[in-house]
Amino acid sequence: MRLRALALMAMLTAACATTALAAPDPDKVLHSSFNAPETGYDPAKTSDIYSHGVMENIFEPLLTYDYVARPAKLIPLVAKSMPEVSADGLTYTIHLQKGIYFADDPVFKGKKRELTAADQVYALKRIADPATGSPSNYLVLGHFVGVDELAEKAKNSKFDYDAPCEGIKALDRYTLQLKLKQLYPALPYVLAMPHTSPVAREVMEAYGQNSLAHPVGTGPYILKEWKPGVKTTLVYNPNFRHVVFDFHPTPGDKAGEQVAREMNGKTMPQIGKIEVSIFTEEQPMWLAFKSGQLDELYSIPQPLLRGVLNMDPKNPRRAALKAEYRKAGLKISRVLDPEMTYWDFNMQDPVLGGFSKEKIALRRAIAMSFDTDQTIRDIRRNNAVRMEYTIPEGVVGHNPNFRYQYEYNRPLANALLDQFGYKIGPDGYRTTPDGKPISIDFLGDASAVGRQWNEYWQEALDSIHIRVTFRPVTFNDLLKAMRSCTYGMVGAAWIADYPDGENFVMLNYSKNIGAENTACYNSPRYDKLYLESQKLQDSPERNHLYDEMNKVMMEETPWLPGETRFRNRMMQPRVLGDEVHPIFQVSWRFMDIQK
Amino acid sequence: MFAYIVRRVLQMIPTLFGVMLLVFVLFNVFGGDPSLVLAGKHLTAESLANIRAQLGLDKSQFAQFMIFVKQVLTLDFGTSWSTQQPVSDIIGSRIGPSLLLTGSMLVVDLLIAIPLAATVAYFRRGLTDRIVTICCTIAMSVSALVYIIAGQYWLAYKWGLFPVSGWGNSAFHNLWYYVPLPMLMGLMVSLGPDIRFYRSFFVEELSNDYVRTARAKGLSERVVMLKHVLRNALIPVVTTVMMSLPYLLIGALVLETFFSIPGMGNAVVLAVNNSDFPIIKAITVYIALATMVFNLLADLIYKLIDPRVQLK
């Protein structure tokens, strides 16, 4: 019992410990950058990574990640300890810390407002409320007992937040109970997403539709100013309970050790004000950083990578800052994003889709004609690694030993097509085994990079005598075609919502056609394995199922796997404690800056 | 004059209706479905239907057009589809930075272009005229992007004369600290064509009989230029300036994007990228209205400058 208590204490203090209040120096201002505009700062209403990054500093979910632990490790944040899970895995009980207060807001009429379990209940129900229009509703709907019924009723009337809900309820002021319809292995990760952070009901009701501009959380910062798409300014939240950094990185993790050296013993946060500027153009961002106007770059723009980094052409993992930048004391933190890119074959397309051997041979030949390594070198500037498994590195369930067997081999691709009766006609292009002409409807965007990809694909498909028509469309139309299965081939990408394999393997589940399953892949074999995996927590058994699902995909070829890209954050010498975390978008609350 | 103004105001109604119809057809009929972008990456048929209902896109085209008409009549365009902030708040907060940049650029442009145009017109076919004309032609031939990229690199980064980009909260601070570089870049693009354009007005006026008569009367060259030529040459200048005024409101898209200026241009780019139709519609209608109003004002100013002008 005593040992358990000690272990619990150690876990709680792994990242931080409570201490006396001490406000950060308001003159410590961090100037940071984003590469694209944010949407706004309502946890339930936004899903883009930039809004997510800002909200990480304003809101606090029940759980979070240890800043220096690699791979990413969950720890309690608003919760007093990790959730207590019933033996059947269907009931989660979570005790909240006492004495956590929301940032001051006129809605609270001058009173300090403590965070309670009811706020978490409200936040989760709000995600399910159709009136919220939450892009994160998939995290709640279909999982918790009684919530879907409330959401269904709300289609014809207002969502009844006061109606009892067995699946999401507060047992007392500081205890939350979640009851699931079936196992939900990703739930702890979901409870660490900013989207599920507790929010004050009175604040949301007061600001109504304008909640994106009025975030009120319990985190270390509050929103001072927001000019959409241009600038966001955060300042220290005086109501934030102060904690002392006490990081314990994995031995041998040099970056983590550096963070611990620079930050341990200091109170959180150290920076009084954060100004985030949005740069949609690369040159001004880079020059602003080089001239010292910016303290950190969210990510080095792709076209500049070769000028900034020395990269091993044979191994994209080996990269270091060029000597001129090292000499200037500039720093870099580099991590593989929990994401993957892939090329969808539309499995419902009359030319490419289907499960007959001829159709599989056609898709596989196309996959074998494309040199992914070359595009990693030329288009990605060596800033990516090949994707060899449908769950990327750093995500639970990834198998580093699995290799997709789509060897880049054009003679073999041609031989495969010959073998299955795809004859070359007098015009130099192949026809189907029953003599019909083939033309692939290749969907893409009209940007310079989009055209660059088209050139590589044109060359690849010409090499196997397959005719292709590129169809550049707007982003809306691209999404529409992908969701309605009205295209031949298209490039796609997926970044983890949470670092669990389930968030990736669901991309090919047939019930997700029209949503995330953009290959429109309807494989009974894959579905059966997927549904079995849904019943399991992270375990060797679940990993085995994931391997089997990858094998099915490899055989049926609904995708050509692409790559996983690196995120390269750059900092000025004066910035301390800044390290790219695989899940957090920004590190501001863990950092310091020398004046 | 009152009857003239009333008539012109009445003429604005069908013009505005035409603009509204055009904008509506462009975005509601030919534009993409914004709910696809707004739904996020986990979009389902149900979530799309929910968003379409919230945005009113599930209503008939006629009903949507009537809502648009009501918005124009009340000048209340609702809230932004992406940031959910009132459109009036967005425009209100963005118009200041745009006007500060484009307004100061217009003033400096006029202060340089008109005297220079008058001078080179006076010395037409001389060395000064040729040098200025060649410089203007070269300046006009270079893309605005080249000026911006070179200016940011050399003037801001290498020589540290200006900040690379940015914007503060004080108008005065912005004017002397953040505006000069984008203004300079904007002037590099606008001065060339403006000087050449205004020069042609002065040249035309200088060849008129009344100039010869004035000189024959023994008036000094200063009086001839300032009292007679300038006044007459100002009519086309006023037309050009008045027609450019509505565009001050929309800001300078490229300059605002490269220099991180929170103006209307930036808002337009963001709205287009997000398929944020309420903002796009509001700005289009405001620009149309401003164009018609400034057009009318230009006509009224003609009368003030030259009493011979008849308003019919």
Average pLDDT over residues A306-324: 91
| CB–CB contact A135 B83 (8 Å) | no
3 state DSSP class of A162: coil
Has residue B214 got a pLDDT over 80?
A: yes
Average pLDDT over residues A305-312: 92
How many cross-chain Cβ pairs, A to B, lie less than 8 Å apart? 130
What band does A1 get if pLDDT is binned at 50, 70 and 90?
very low
For A208-252, write each residue's pLDDT tens digit.
888 999 999 999 999 999 999 899 999 999 999 988 999 999 889
Q: Which of B30, B42, B148 to mutate to test the interface with A (most CBs of A within 10 A)?
A: B42
- Fold: same for A2-273+574-593 and A339-565: no
**Nearest in space to A590 (alpha carbons), one of A568, A571, A562, A567:** A571
Q: Which residues of A touch B144 (CB under 8 A)?
A: none
Average pLDDT of chain B?
A: 89
**Nearest in space to A56 (alpha carbons), one of A225, A192, A189, A194:** A194
Task: Give me B225's structure tokens.
Answer: 């230029």
| CB–CB contact B84 A211 (8 Å) | yes
Q: Is A510 near chain B, with CB under 8 Å? A: no
Has residue A3 got a pLDDT over 70?
A: no
pLDDT at residue B35 in the model:
83
Q: Which residues of B touch A225 (CB under 8 A)?
A: 169
CB-side neighbour CA atoms (13 Å) of B186: 27
Q: What percent of chain A has pLDDT over 70?
A: 96
For chain A positions 449-508, those within 8 Å of chain B (CB to CB) are 474-477, 479-480, 483, 494
For A79-126, write each residue's pLDDT tens digit.
999 999 999 999 999 999 999 999 999 999 999 999 999 999 999 999
Has residue A14 got a pLDDT over 60?
A: no
Has residue A10 got a pLDDT over 60?
A: no
Q: Which residues of A touch B85 (CB under 8 A)?
A: 210, 212-213, 228
What band does B250 get if pLDDT is binned at 50, 70 and 90?
confident
Q: Which residues of B touch A128 (CB under 8 A)?
A: none
DSSP-derived secondary structure letter, B153: I
> Which residue from B50, B82, B90 is facing A130, i.e. has the nearest CB?
B50
pLDDT at residue A8 in the model:
43
For B87-135, write each residue's pLDDT tens digit.
999 999 999 999 999 999 999 999 999 999 999 999 988 999 999 999 9
Q: Which residues of A touch B79 (CB under 8 A)?
A: 209-210
| Domain A339-565 part of CATH 3.10.105.10 | yes
B5: closest CA of chain A, how far (Å): 39
Task: Give me A459's structure tokens.
Answer: 């060359």
Work out the number of other CB atoms within 10 angstroms of the CB of residue A310: 13
Average pLDDT over residues A315-343: 94
**Nearest in space to B261 (alpha carbons), one of B193, B174, B202:** B174
3 state DSSP class of A157: coil
Q: Is B167 near chain A, with CB under 8 Å? A: yes
State which amino acid sits at residue B223.
Answer: V
Question: Rounded distance, CA B154 to CA B159, Å?
Answer: 6
pLDDT at residue A6 in the model:
44
Closest residue, chain B, to A277 (C-alpha) = B260
> Which residue from B50, B83, B153 is facing A40, i.e. has the nearest CB?
B83
* CB contact at 8 A, B296 and B290: no
- Spell out the domain ranges in chain A: 2-273+574-593, 339-565
Q: Which residues of A touch B34 (CB under 8 A)?
A: 476
Least confident segment among A70-74, A422-426, A501-505? A70-74
Has residue B237 got a pLDDT over 60?
A: yes
Give buried/exposed letters for A203-242 (b at 16+ CB in 10 A, else e): bbebbebbbbbbbbbbbbbbbeebbbbbbbbbbbbebbbb
pTM of the model: 0.88
In terms of Cβ atoms closer than 10 Å to its own Cβ (0-12, 13-18, 19+), residue A182 is exposed
Average pLDDT over residues A414-429: 96
3 state DSSP class of A10: helix
For A18-54, write each residue's pLDDT tens digit.
444 568 999 999 999 999 899 899 999 988 899 999 9
> Which residue from B37, B149, B262 is facing A476, i.e. has the nearest CB?
B37
For A553-594, write each residue's pLDDT tens digit.
999 999 999 999 999 999 999 999 999 999 999 999 999 999
pLDDT at residue A21 in the model:
54
B266: closest CA of chain A, how far (Å): 8
Q: Is B166 near chain A, with CB under 8 Å? A: yes
Average pLDDT over residues A535-539: 90
What band does A537 get if pLDDT is binned at 50, 70 and 90?
confident
Closest residue, chain A, to B47 (C-alpha) = A133
For chain B positions 125-164, those within 8 Å of chain A (CB to CB) are 149, 152-153, 156-157, 160, 163-164
Domain covering A2-273+574-593 in this structure, CATH number = 3.40.190.10
pLDDT at residue A431 in the model:
96
pLDDT at residue B30 in the model:
78
Average pLDDT over residues B23-41: 81
Has residue B156 got a pLDDT over 50?
A: yes
Task: Give me A265's structure tokens.
Answer: 């013993």
Q: Is B32 near chain A, with CB under 8 Å? A: yes
Q: Which of B27, B47, B87, B147 to mutate to test the interface with A (most CBs of A within 10 A)?
A: B47
Average pLDDT over residues A164-172: 97
Has residue A13 got a pLDDT over 70?
A: no
Q: Is B98 near chain A, with CB under 8 Å? A: no
Has residue A2 got a pLDDT over 60?
A: no
Q: What percent of chain B has pLDDT over 90?
A: 54
Closest residue, chain B, to A130 (C-alpha) = B50
pLDDT at residue B231 in the model:
83
Has residue A258 got a pLDDT over 50?
A: yes
| CB–CB contact B44 A474 (8 Å) | no
Helix then strand count (H, E) for chain B reads 15, 0
Q: Which residues of A touch B80 (CB under 8 A)?
A: 228
Q: Which of A6-10, A68-72, A369-373 has the highest mean pLDDT?
A: A369-373
pLDDT at residue A301 in the model:
87
Question: Rounded distance, CA A393 to CA A496, Å?
Answer: 11
